[in-house]
Amino acid sequence: AQSVSQHNHHVILSEAASLELGCNYSYGGTVNLFWYVQYPGQHLQLLLKYFSGDPLVKGIKGFEAEFIKSKFSFNLRKPSVQWSDTAEYFCAVNGIGTDKLIFGTGTRLQVFP
């Protein structure tokens, strides 16, 4: 079955700490991978996406993610978080030729000053 697992449900960090959020997927075939973010009171918006080429993808606000095909992973990283990064983060996948996204359950990140 197609699925996405996000291992960390709730992460609490201090400002300037480094961040890594795990994402593993189960999907037969070639995939596109996405990280979406939902800031408090706002709608889901795209952070970054991978569909081909360089497996290290850079997104907005200093975020990056690395696609490791052998591990079925697409972990999200940021070297130094800010209070404004407090949000819920969702990893998602779809297959080539299909459009519907399969989401993980999300990771709630709280950053304290």
Partner 1 sequence: GAGVSQSPRYKVAKRGQDVALRCDPISGHVSLFWYQQALGQGPEFLTYFQNEAQLDKSGLPSDRFFAERPEGSVSTLKIQRTQQEDSAVYLCASSLDAGGSDTQYFGPGTRLTVL
Which residues of the shown chain bind partner 1 in the complex (CB under 8 A)? 4, 32, 36, 42-46, 49, 51-52, 90, 92, 94-106
Name, in order, each residue with C-beta under 8 angstroms of 18's C-beta and a sequence gap of 6 or more: 77, 78, 79, 80, 81
Closest to partner 1 by CB, 49 or 77: 49
Question: What angle is formed at CA 63 by the lines to CA 96 and CA 43, rounded to 5 degrees?
Answer: 70
Q: Cβ of residue 14: shortest distance to partner 1, in angstroms? A: 25
Pick the closer one to partner 1 by CB: 4 or 81.
4
